Each structure stands twice: as structure tokens, then as C-alpha cells.
Structure 1
């Protein structure tokens, strides 16, 4: 700077020149991608005016991304066309736009080719990341008919009840050993993991798994790592030039490769164990009912299609969808109840009145506990664990809301923005379970879509609903809850793409006196 000044440069003039250059570049790229393009194809959706070379609109994004994108929608509208680095992105933030693109149209049925699909998606071949076509349809059919059908979920309802009872016993043990203080994040994850282990593999994470709690913690870390790099969370997907600077900047790819290696080793061990037990004739009834047994049986009929890689990828996708996300939702529910003790008391009174204190609540009791379901729905509205969902990609040119959207555009729909829109929901950031009273999901339409929507809606929605409901029901029925201090529970989010608590929930709890007779018999 001193050199510039010594050559009679005026700093104000330098700044003016820089501004003119920036304005020229911004104008050039704006004209290139809007006015010039519209002469050929039509008018593009609205966008923030200033789009820089190379980075596009990335400079506007802050953590958490779903909140940052929601702010853009408030300012510019519910249908936006952004440049996220090298990728054109259609951002939807209204139920009408979501319905138009994902329900009424077949254009946005593919997935973009992102790093999580390459590494975590078995090179874009698993159910989550596979392109729309025969292979994806077959995977979806297997999940819907062979694994997650209502009939199979009903067959496995006894397993979920056993897992719930085992969880209660572990909770009581933790309460006794830790003077009534329990760290709920790990406890709830243990519940969801044990449930998925029994349903998918046919064995308990606690009784049979070597290492017990340590094995649970290792797998939890692996799942959490997967969520950190899932979806639209990797800058290298939008600025491919960064891959040439891996040596200096690092890369999420190495982390992804490590995660997938750990998960594949986990699955290979489970399949080997299952085959050995079957060869020895020692498969228990639980293992014969397990989903891995169904898939390995299909492998005998068509070993080429039902490869170990395909089976492992499908089982891992179910593990990921049925453990960390469900556990996070239950943790949010409990946090909200602790900050709203009147709601907690009302939920306990509903269970006491309609179920009583002589038995544990069961899945079949769900219709008799509507307020409990309202609490869960309100939590999913405020804190959807997948606030942006997985991205889609247009397979052809199309029109959305009268605007032209080019082929190959990535679509992001902001579930969090819809769920927290004050034009849709009254006082959206206040916890009001009563707002769902008497409302069916069909009535809510696309105002409420915690599991996504359209052809690629989460296939595990019904299983997740059952797991979350039963976990919340037994926690409310069996225990009294208090905060560890007079302060409200910290509800801050991590800032990543999956909506989880920044500070894990620690609580005081004890068995409810009115349930002691039932609990003493477990």
C-alpha cells in the first residue's frame, strides 16, 4: 500500500476502480445467465442480483444453511434460481412450489452427482442416490414390499415392544448409578440402534454384540459422521476447482472414504456371521424374521443382482435412516417437554386416563393418545431432522411458476422454511401441540412434510413414526422429568444439515411412583 501511495495513487480512486470492475463482472455474468439466456429459453426465476464469478451466490450462505436459505426466500420469493458455485440451483420454499415440482411433475426425479452419492451412495447405486429408473424402482419395491411393508412392520411389532422394555431397564440402571442424571442423546440412540439391529439383523446390540455400549458408541459416531457430509454440505461439490488444492485445504472425500470403509467392514461382519449361523443350522427365530435374512434369501435366487455390495448398501441406508434421525427427534421432543412442563403433565394425564398404570403403553394404543401424536407432530414441524432433504435434479428443461428452469438444475426444497413460515403457521417458533388437534396429514397437505414428499419420499416414514411414537410414549409414561437447573434447556442447533441439538440433553429423572408395580416386573 505504501508503494502505491508513493506513486501518487489515491486510495479512494483505487477503491472506485475496484468497485467498477466488480460491477462490470457482476453485470456481465448476470446478463449472460439471465437476459441473454431468456431470449432463447424463457425467463429464469428470480435471483439475488449480485452473482460473483466462480462462487456465484455462495457468499450469501451462512450456517445453518436452511435458515440462511429461508431468509433469501423471504427477501426474494419462494422460487429462486441461484448459482451455488458451478451449479445452478432451484430453491423452493413454499408448499405450492414443492407440490408443482415434486408431486405433479416427473422432471425432478433424479439425484445430482454429489460426493455423498459417490462414496456413501455406493457410486450412485443405492436407494437414496440412484438415478430414477428400473434399478431404483426395484430397490424401492424391495424396501416397500419385502422390508418396510405394513405387514412386515406388524410382524416385527413384538421386537419393538421387547426393545422398549429393555430400554426402560437400562434407563432405571443409569438413573440408579448416576444419581438420577442421564445423558439422553446416547441413551436414545442406544434404543433406536438396538431396535434396528433386531429388525435388520436379528440380534440385540446389547445382549449379543461384542463390546456392548462401546460398539453402540462407535456406530453412533459413524452415523453422525455420515450426516455431517451428506446432502449439499460439501463445498467441493460446488467449487470443483478446490479438488486441485486438496494438499493444502484438505478434502471431505478422505473422510467419506474412511466412513464407508468402517460401514462396509461392519456389514461384511454381519453377513458373514449370519451365513455361518445358517450353515450350522443355528439361526434363531429372531434372525429368520430379520430383514437381512430376507435379502440373503433373495440372493440365492438372483446372486448377480442381490450382491453383497447391494445388500450391504441397502441395509446401511436403513440403519442410517432409522437410528440417528429418529433418536434426534425423540431428543427434541423431550427437550421441548422439559421446557413446557404443562404439556408434559397433560401428556402423562392422557396416558394415565386412557391406558392406566397397570401395563406399558403399546403401539396399538396410538389412536387412543391423540395429544401425544400432536406433540410429536409439533416437534417434527419445528425441528425436522432433514430440514432440506436430499437434493433433486431436473432431467429436462421445464417451467416452474411460469419460469424456465434448465435441464440439469439441482433442486433444493426447504422443509424447515415451510414448517416455520408465519404465513402458514401461527406463531411458528412457539411450541403449540394443540395446533395439530383433529388434523390429519392429508388435511395438512404440503404444509407438513417432515419425511419429504413426492416419488422419493423417505421409504422408512412409517417405521420411523412407529419408533418415535413408542419411544416418546414409554418415556412419558414411565418417568418423571426435571431440568438439571432452573435454566431452560438449550435449544441451539448444531448448524449442520441435519437438525440436531448442539448441546446433548442431560436431565434429572426417576421412575413414576404410579408405575412402580409395572416397572418392578420387567
Structure 2
């Protein structure tokens, strides 16, 4: 009497693992954990928090590993010398960004600086960022904002100390960072005291909260079937979040144009939005660049 088919499953599985390992060695790929499961690969090894999980994998299997995370291959490098080699000698090979779902919706279809792949477009964005927006001269112009916000945080901590109140330092530093960033970008603060536009501040804090609640390890990026089936509604959440972010930032840009016009800056067209040499925020700097290069 023939044995049932499921009796042969362990043998088939062992043959699958052996074959995968054999071809891995044959192609001279970096070492990988032996158990590479069908469909999910090495995803079973990952747990939260991710950085600790990856550290444990490196400690167990070695400083340079090739992981198969669902449909994506991921090179895990934890050795300083190997990381230096990847980021210097072979930097162009590793320069591209993975096309994740967040980059599609939050990165304007992979065209923003964080998400775009290496090439002319990326080089141009990097030049604008390093020379025009984040240069030493520009940052020095905005030093007063950083000093002011640090003093404000110290005063808030001092008041809490006098009142013997508990202070959440993580929250305090987060609010300090967000106020510095938004004052440099748009000239507005949205946390703690002296928030000029209460409703606008509430909307901004809501957007930040929604962004932080997003799960960066979206399984649909590694298992396409989940995305195709629409499981979890992650993509809908990203689309809605980007709609809110876009609307909010567009209002900041239009507000900057109106302020310039009210100060006698002309008819408010893009060509004369910001007077050369008088920019104060990063939005104004970008509008000045747009006036110089309207075709880009």
C-alpha cells in the first residue's frame, strides 16, 4: 500500500533547503542563515525592536549576511570595516533606494531627496540641499532660532523643577526639535507656549502623530500578495496622510507668498516672491530658487 503524500513533506522540505543552500554557495553570495523558508525567506527571524533583532542575527551568523526578506534581498552589514567598504569603495552600487510603499506616496513617487534613486535628479537635489538650504552660511543665518528654542526649553524645565513636576525628557527634546525644524522651514512654532495659530498647530501635531504611528516595516513591501489583497489598509492610510501633509505644506507656501506681497514685494507672482538676499526661512529660500530656475 502506497504511503500518503504528506509523509514525503519533510524530505521535500529538506531537499528544498539543501538546493537553495547549494545554489547560494555556487553563486558566491555572502553567507546567509541556512533555513530560508518558501515565500517568507528569513522574515521569521525578525522581531521588534528591529535593530536588536538584526544585532542578534549578526552576532549569531556573522558581520556580513545576505537575508531574503520575502521578495527582497537585504544585505546586513554590522562590521565597521565592511560598512566602510560599502559606503566608499562600492558606494555607487549601494546608492539606490528601495522602492517601498511609503516612498511612492510620501516621497512623490520616489522623486524626493530621501527616496529618489542615484542619478542626475538626486545629484541636483543634493546640490540644492547642501549649497542653498543646509550650507554653513544658511544655518548660521538661522542660529538665532536654535538659541531661542533651547532657552525656551530650559525655561520650561526650570518652571517644572520649581513646581516639582515630573518631566518627560523624550517629549521635551522632541518638541524642541520640532519647533526648531518648523521655525527654520516656515518661521512658525507648534509646540508649548506662544503658538500663534492654535488650529494650525493642532493640525500639524495631528499630522506628526499620524506619521509616527505608521509602521515602517510594512509587510506589503516584502510580501507583494499582502499589498495586492489590500490587507491592513496601509496604502489607504498613506494616501490620506499625504493628502493632509500636502494641503498643510501648500498653505505654508501660499502664506509665505502673501506675507511677501503684503510687504511690498510686487504682484505676488513666483518670479518676485522673495527678495534676493533677504530670505529668512527654508520655504523662502526654495521660492527664491524657483524664481531663478522656474523650469526646474
Which category describes the TM-score, using the shorter chain as reference length? 0.7 to 0.9
Aligned counterpart for 2:295 among listed residues 293, 304, 325: 304
Pair 1:239 & 2:230 matched: no
Q: How do 1:56-67 and structure 2 match up within 5 A?
A: 56-67=41-52
CA deviation profile, 1:350-392 (whole Å, cap 9, x unmatched): xxxxxxxxxxxxxxxxxxxxxxxxxxxxxxxxxxxxxxxxxxx
SS at structure 1 position matched to 2:279: helix
Aligned counterpart for 2:35 among listed residues 22, 30, 50: 50
Pair 1:190 & 2:190 matched: no
Residue 271 of structure 1 and its aligned partner are, at CA, apart by 0.5
C-alpha RMSD of the superposition: 2.8
Report the Cα distance in structure 2 between the residues aligned to 1:167 and 1:67, rounded to whole angstroms. 32
Report the Cα distance in structure 2 between the residues aligned to 1:173 and 1:161, rounded to whole angstroms. 19
CA deviation profile, 1:167-187 (whole Å, cap 9, x unmatched): 3334445556x7522333333
Q: Is the 8 A contact 2:207 2:241 kept in 1?
A: no
Pair 1:222 & 2:210 matched: yes
Would you identify which runs of 4 or more consecutive aligned residues in structure 1 move more than 6 Å?
Answer: 282-285
Pair 1:152 & 2:134 matched: no
TM-score by length of 1: 0.50
Q: Which has the higher contact order (CA 8 A, sep 6+)?
A: 1
Residue 15 of structure 1 and its aligned partner are, at CA, apart by 7.7
Q: Is the 8 A contact 1:29 1:53 kept in 2?
A: no
Unaligned runs of 5+ in 1: 1-7, 306-522
Q: Is the 8 A contact 2:195 2:201 kept in 1?
A: no
Pair 1:29 & 2:14 matched: no
SS at structure 1 position matched to 2:74: strand
Q: Is the 8 A contact 2:32 2:65 kept in 1?
A: yes
Q: Is the 8 A contact 1:25 1:52 kept in 2?
A: no
Q: How do 1:253-402 and structure 2 match up within 5 A?
A: 253-281=235-263, 288-305=279-296
Aligned counterpart for 2:10 among listed residues 15, 19, 23: 19
Residue 214 of structure 1 and its aligned partner are, at CA, apart by 3.5
User: Residue 212 and residue 303 in structure 1: after superposition, are their counterparts in 2 closer, same or farther (change >3 A)?
Assistant: closer
Q: Is the 8 A contact 1:190 1:216 kept in 2?
A: no
Q: Is the 8 A contact 1:102 1:108 kept in 2?
A: yes
Pair 1:73 & 2:58 matched: yes
Report the Cα distance in structure 2 between the residues aligned to 1:52 and 1:297, rounded to whole angstroms. 54
Residue 213 of structure 1 and its aligned partner are, at CA, apart by 6.2
SS at structure 1 position matched to 2:167: strand
Residue 216 of structure 1 and its aligned partner are, at CA, apart by 5.5
Report the Cα distance in structure 2 between the residues aligned to 1:282 and 1:218, rounded to whole angstroms. 34
User: Residue 90 and residue 303 in structure 1: after superposition, are their counterparts in 2 closer, same or farther (change >3 A)?
Assistant: same
Q: Is the 8 A contact 1:124 1:130 kept in 2?
A: yes
Report the Cα distance in structure 1 between the residues aligned to 2:207 and 2:159, rounded to whole angstroms. 22
Residue 242 of structure 1 and its aligned partner are, at CA, apart by 1.6
Report the Cα distance in structure 2 between the residues aligned to 1:174 and 1:164, rounded to whole angstroms. 15
Q: Is the 8 A contact 1:202 1:288 kept in 2?
A: no
Pair 1:164 & 2:150 matched: yes
Report the Cα distance in structure 2 between the residues aligned to 1:166 and 1:274, rounded to whole angstroms. 25
Report the Cα distance in structure 2 between the residues aligned to 1:201 and 1:135, rounded to whole angstroms. 25
Partner of 1:124: 110
Partner of 1:252: 234
Residue 9 of structure 1 and its aligned partner are, at CA, apart by 11
User: Residue 224 and residue 191 in structure 1: after superposition, are their counterparts in 2 closer, same or farther (change >3 A)?
Assistant: same
CA deviation profile, 1:162-204 (whole Å, cap 9, x unmatched): 122223334445556x752233333332211211122111233
SS at structure 1 position matched to 2:109: coil
Q: How many pairs are equivalent?
A: 282
Report the Cα distance in structure 1 between the residues aligned to 2:102 and 2:155, rounded to whole angstroms. 38
Q: How do 1:431-450 and structure 2 match up within 5 A?
A: none
Partner of 1:322: none
CA deviation profile, 1:400-431 (whole Å, cap 9, x unmatched): xxxxxxxxxxxxxxxxxxxxxxxxxxxxxxxx
Report the Cα distance in structure 2 between the residues aligned to 1:279 and 1:171, rounded to whole angstroms. 39
TM-score by length of 2: 0.84
